Amino acid sequence: MVYDTALALTDPGTLDGEGLLPAEAVMNGEVTAGCWLDGDRLVLATGGEGGSGEDDSTLPARHLGVWSVSEGRWLHRNPIADAEPGVLLLPRGDHVISLLGHPRLLDTATGRLVAEWPEVGVPAKATCFGVTHVPSPVAALHPDGTRLAIAQTDSIALITFP
C-alpha cells in the first residue's frame, strides 16, 4: 500500500482507504520489490507467485510495472527478463537494479535486461518476508548513479555502470 504521508498527517482517515495504488492493480502478482523513479512514478516488481494477469488493469506475476500516481494507471507492464526481481530495486534513471543471485540492470519501460554482473554474487532472496535463513542483499547506489557498492562475504564489490 502506498499513502500520501503529508495528507495523512492532516487527515489520518486517508490511511483507512486504499491509498495511491489500488489493491486491484497488484492483485494478480505478489509484489516482491518496489522503488520510486521520481516524484510520480513507482516501479513495482512481482515474483513467480500469482495469476496470469489477463485483466489489463493488473500487474501479473514475474512482471515489472511503472505506476503513475498522478494518472492512476500503469504506464508500463512487461515480463521480467530471465529471472525474478528479488527483494531490492534501486532506481537509476529509467532503469532499476535488481538483486537476486547477482545484479541486473532492467529497463523499466520494457522489462528487458540491459546489463548483468553474474560474477558479483548476492543472496538469492525472492521475497522480503517469510524467509529468515537467507540474508537480504545489501547495496548502495552512488548519488550520481554511476556506481553500485554491493556487500560481499568478506569485501565490497564495486560496479561501474555503462
- Domains in the chain (CATH in brackets) are 5-119 (2.40.10.480)
Query: Is residue 62 within 8 Å of residue 29, measured between CB atoms?
Result: yes
Pairing of strands 113-116, 139-141: unpaired
In single-letter form, the type of residue at position 82 comes to D
Q: Mean pLDDT: which of 9-23, 46-60, 66-80 is highest?
A: 66-80
Please give the Cα distance from 61 to 120 (Å, whole number). Answer: 26
Query: Is residue 50 within 8 Å of residue 63, measured between CB atoms?
Result: no
Whole-structure pTM value: 0.82
Residue 123 or residue 9, greater confidence? 9
User: Is pLDDT of 154 > 80?
Assistant: yes
Percent with pLDDT over 90 in the chain: 36
Beta strands in 27-161 (DSSP E): 29-36, 41-50, 63-68, 73-79, 89-92, 95-100, 102-107, 113-116, 139-141, 147-151, 156-160
Q: Which positions ≥6 away from 93 have C-beta within 8 Å? A: 145
Residue 105 is placed in which grid cell? 540492470
The predicted-structure confidence for 33-70, as pLDDT tens digits, reads as follows: 888 999 899 999 888 776 555 556 788 888 899 999 99
Please give the Cα distance from 83 to 108 (Å, whole number). Answer: 15
Question: What does pLDDT average to over the chain?
Answer: 84
User: Is pLDDT of 83 > 80?
Assistant: no
Angle at alpha carbon of residue 37, lines to 111 and 22, rounded to 5°: 80
Residue 117 — very low, low, confident or very high, per pLDDT cuts 50/70/90? very high
pLDDT, position 22: 74
Please give the Cα distance from 140 to 116 (Å, whole number). Answer: 16
